[in-house]
Structure 1
Amino acid sequence: MDHNNNQEIAESVPQKGFFGHPKGLFTLFFTEFWERFSYYGMRAILIYYMYYAISEGGLGMNQTTAASIMAIYGSLVYMSGIIGGWIADRLLGTKRTVFFGGILIMFGHIALSFPGGIAALFLSMALIVIGTGLLKPNVSSVVGDLYSKDDNRRDAGFSIFVMGINLGALIAPLIVGTLGQKYNFHLGFGVAAIGMFIGLVIFLATRKKYLGLAGSQVPNPLSDDEKRKIFFRFGISIVVIIIIGAISIYTGMLTIDRFTMLISIFGILIPAVYFIMMFRSKKTTADERSNLIAYIPLFIAAIMFWAIEEQGSIILAQYADQRTQLNFAGMKLESSWFQSLNPLFIVIFAPIFAWMWVKLGNRQPSTPMKFSIGLIFAGLSFIVMIAPAYINGVESLVNPMWLVLSFFLVVIGELLLSPVGLSATTKLAPAAFSAQTMSLWFLSNASAQAINAQLVKLYKPETEIIYFGAIGVISILLGLILFAMSPKISTYMKGTR
């Protein structure tokens, strides 16, 4: 998107009315609030639903298998953003793509709200994977459209947007988690479906008045001839994949372990192909290529960060369920409630960070420096988890405050990296690949969880010290390397902060 188009779109949006930000931020804030409520509510109980015994309302899976499925599911959710970005860039525009994504997500949660066993689980996952791929990168891209390129409110706007995400994520485990663990898992999944429905209603009711032209443009539309060719190839590819998949499953060639390994490989290869494709495109200018070079180390840093952060719903969820004192301070805790710690801290501290970036203005640290400090905090969040096992061994239950501290540290890292990464992506994206570059940002999470699908197999109570220590140290070292590289990376950003 060139500067003139960006300015025209920004001018079509009412620029004041939501905490000093464009009114369209209200629409996107609450759409994403309810979408995240549904997603994080479901995710707070999903691993327990998979490995709890059938007599307890679960599916009775092996814990290691359930952990790998959780990671691969998360990877596919973010990997599908490629599809959403491409559809927005070439067919529908971001605004319409967001709406269709929300519908699929809602039906995904509905599928899981009925007791259909493993078949219903995988159907639900498929719908939510595709729906989130349509919605997640594109709603963030529309946020970028609300602001002109030189608007200093942009980083603060993304911080407020991320706070909306985390408000939804905060209340979801408390409501969905309680219903799922105390009463019935399917009741919890049903409430998640209702949350997505509310988000769709808000989006439909306010998008015309508050979003203006934001998200309406199709940046790189397909010609009619291109559409025919692509739809034909897409149809053939789907049929071939279904046939190969059916044969592989029937013959026993495609097991869960092999599938997770395949997705782990794709999680690394797809971003690499994406970078090469955009870098070599004739539609990418010289300055945009320089920006892409600067984006690569940020992308690698994001993978490391998300590899730690996303284990909060896998390894730390198991830790909360099996290694933590749940009778604490005179009350009975549900293990799913710990999933609210991350968003709770973000809700508390996001406004402080948003105010701080606005107050500092051009004096704030560069984007690479923010990333490097974020990585260091992420590493520390795992380092502190060594202490309980070192002090008391792995047989006794630990004080829940260790988990609280771990989540707190990773949140400080997230506030330095996540909203800043979203903002940097909208600024560093080649014009012809604006939505697809946002999809690439979410691929950092997909890559991290694809790696996690293999990493989580290594976790056992007896390996806690090595597991948390090794991952934590690697993150801190990468953070220090990135800090040293920050001045060089900034030169490739061509003045973008």
Structure 2
Amino acid sequence: MSNSNRQKIVDSVPQTGFFGHPKGLFTLFFTEFWERFSYYGMRAILVYYMYYEVSKGGLGLDETLALSIMSIYGSLVYMSGIIGGWLADRIFGTSKAVFYGGILIMLGHIVLAIPGSLAMFFVSMVLIVLGTGLLKPNVSSVVGEIYSEEDNRRDAGFSIFYMGINLGAFISPLIVGEVGMKHNFHLGFAIAAVGMFLGLVVFVLTKKKNLGLAGTFVANPLSGNEKKKVYTRFAIAAGLLAILIAIAIPAGYLTFDSFIALVGLLGIGIPIAYFVTMYRSSKTTEVERSRIIAYIPLFIASVMFWAIQEQGSTILANYADKRTQLEFAGFNISPAWFQSLNPLFIIVFAPVFAWLWVKLGKRQPTIPQKFSLGLLFAGLSFLVILLPAYFGGTDSLVNPLWLVLSYFIVVLGELCLSPVGLSATTKLAPAAFSAQTMSLWFLSNAAAQAINAQIVKFYSPATEMTYFGIIGGASIVLSIILFTMAPKIQGYMKGIR
């Protein structure tokens, strides 16, 4: 997208009206609030739905397999952002991508809400994966469009937007978790579908007035001939994929294990391919190439961080269900409620971090330094959760406050890394790959969860201390390395701070 178009977008958006920020932030805040309500509500009960017995309303899958599928699900959700980013950049723009994505997500939750078989579960997965790939990276890209590159409110705006994400993520496990775990899984999924519907209503009714031209420009549109070629290739690829699946499943080549391995390879291979493509593109300037080099270590750090943080919905969710004392202070705690801890702490502390970055101004840590702090806290959160086994063994139930402390520490790291990473991505992205670079940011999460799908197999009460210790220690070591490299990385950013 040209600089003139970027300025037209900024001029078309009312620049005050939402806590001192552009009015469009209201639309994006509440659209993402309801989308995250639907997604995290579903996710809070999904792993339990998979491994609980059929007599308890679940699918009755093996517990370890359910944890791997949960990681693969998360990986594919973020991996599909590449498709959503490409479609937005080349065909219909970010605004339409957000709308189409919301429709698919809502349909996916509706399918989950219908009692059915494992086949119905996989249909819902496909719909939610594709829908989130369209919506998630593109709604964040629109946030970047409503601010000028020189606007000092930008990082604070992303922190407020991030708080909206987590407000939805906080409320949903309490509601969907309560209904799904204590009454009926499918009714819980139905509530998630209603959440996405409300998000679509907010977006459609307020976007014209609040967003102006934001999301309407196609950054790097296809020509007429290119469109014909692309549509033909998509049709051929879809047909070949259907044939391969039809052959591979009966022949025993496509199993859960082989599919998990395939996603793992894609989670690592796709980001590498994208970095190479953007770097070598004739549409990328020399300054933008330098910024791509600076982005690589940040991407690697993000993968390490999310490999720990995303285990909150797999290993720590299982830990809450199997290893935690759920009778506490006279209350019966649902294991799904622990999924609200991460967003709760973000809601409380996101304004503090947003204020801190604005208050420090030019004295605040650089982007690489903030990332190194994020890795440090992530590693410490895993070292904390191994202490109960160290002091009391793995046979007794653990005080739930240990889980609370672990979630709290990783949130400190998340607030140093995640909203800052969103903002940095919009600033470091090559102009011709704006939405796709945001998709690349979310691919760090996809890569992390693809790796998690392999390593969660090594977790058990017997290996608990080793598991948490090795992963937590690796994160701390990487944090130290990144901190020492920070000045060099900053130099490659060419003026971006």
- TM range, normalised to the smaller chain? over 0.9
1:483 and 2:483 equivalent?
A: yes
What's the TM-score once normalised by structure 1's chain length? 1.00
Q: Residue deviations 1:76-118, cap 9 Å, x none? A: 0000000000000000110111000000000000000011120
Q: Residue deviations 1:56-81, cap 9 Å, x none? A: 00000000100000000000000000
Residue matched to 1:393: 393
Residue matched to 1:22: 22
1:260 and 2:260 equivalent?
A: yes
- CA distance in structure 1 between the partners assigned to 2:399 and 2:251 by the alignment: 48
Q: Residue deviations 1:126-161, cap 9 Å, x none? A: 000000000000000000001000000000000000
- CA distance in structure 2 between the partners assigned to 1:17 and 1:104 by the alignment: 31
Residue matched to 2:434: 434
**1:195-344 map, 5 Å:** 195-344=195-344
1:3 Cα deviation (Å)?
Answer: 3.1
1:366 and 2:366 equivalent?
A: yes
What's the TM-score once normalised by structure 2's chain length? 1.00
Residue matched to 1:66: 66
1:362 Cα deviation (Å)?
Answer: 1.4
- CA distance in structure 2 between the partners assigned to 1:386 and 1:36 by the alignment: 30
Q: Residue deviations 1:302-352, cap 9 Å, x none? A: 000000000000000000000000000110000000000000000000000
- CA distance in structure 2 between the partners assigned to 1:3 and 1:367 by the alignment: 24
1:108 and 2:108 equivalent?
A: yes
- CA distance in structure 1 between the partners assigned to 2:356 and 2:23 by the alignment: 22
Q: Sequence identity of aligned pairs in percent? A: 70
Q: Which runs of 4+ in 1 moved over 6 A?
A: none
1:464 Cα deviation (Å)?
Answer: 0.5
Q: What amino acid is the match of 1:356?
A: L
Residue matched to 2:422: 422
Q: What amino acid is the match of 1:221?
A: P
1:474 and 2:497 equivalent?
A: no
Aligned length: 497
Q: Conserved in 2, the CA contact under 8 Å of 1:140 and 1:422?
A: yes
SS in 1 for 2:61: coil
Q: Conserved in 2, the CA contact under 8 Å of 1:386 and 1:469?
A: yes
Residue matched to 1:3: 3
- CA distance in structure 2 between the partners assigned to 1:246 and 1:345 by the alignment: 46
SS in 1 for 2:475: helix
- CA distance in structure 2 between the partners assigned to 1:291 and 1:321 by the alignment: 44
- CA distance in structure 1 between the partners assigned to 2:344 and 2:232 by the alignment: 47
Residue matched to 2:99: 99
- CA distance in structure 1 between the partners assigned to 2:289 and 2:339 by the alignment: 39
Q: What amino acid is the match of 2:5?
A: N
Residue matched to 2:79: 79
Q: Conserved in 2, the CA contact under 8 Å of 1:6 and 1:149?
A: no
Q: Residue deviations 1:420-473, cap 9 Å, x none? A: 000000000000000000000000000000000001001001100000000000
1:4 Cα deviation (Å)?
Answer: 2.8
SS in 2 for 1:93: helix
1:18 Cα deviation (Å)?
Answer: 0.4
1:182 and 2:178 equivalent?
A: no
- CA distance in structure 1 between the partners assigned to 2:491 and 2:472 by the alignment: 29
Residue matched to 2:383: 383
SS in 1 for 2:257: helix
- CA distance in structure 1 between the partners assigned to 2:407 and 2:3 by the alignment: 40
Q: What amino acid is the match of 2:445?
A: N
1:147 and 2:164 equivalent?
A: no
Residue matched to 1:132: 132
- CA distance in structure 2 between the partners assigned to 1:63 and 1:39 by the alignment: 22
1:2 Cα deviation (Å)?
Answer: 3.5
1:465 and 2:465 equivalent?
A: yes
Q: What amino acid is the match of 1:404?
A: V
Q: What amino acid is the match of 2:330?
A: G
1:454 and 2:434 equivalent?
A: no
Q: What amino acid is the match of 2:465?
A: I
1:361 Cα deviation (Å)?
Answer: 1.3
Q: Conserved in 2, the CA contact under 8 Å of 1:77 and 1:130?
A: yes
**1:25-64 map, 5 Å:** 25-64=25-64
Unaligned runs of 5+ in 1: none
Q: What amino acid is the match of 2:134?
A: L
- CA distance in structure 2 between the partners assigned to 1:250 and 1:236 by the alignment: 22
- CA distance in structure 1 between the partners assigned to 2:54 and 2:297 by the alignment: 45
Q: Residue deviations 1:166-194, cap 9 Å, x none? A: 00000000000000000000000000000
1:11 Cα deviation (Å)?
Answer: 1.1
State the superposition RMSD in angstroms: 0.5
Q: Residue deviations 1:346-405, cap 9 Å, x none? A: 000000011111111111110000000110000000000110001110010000000000
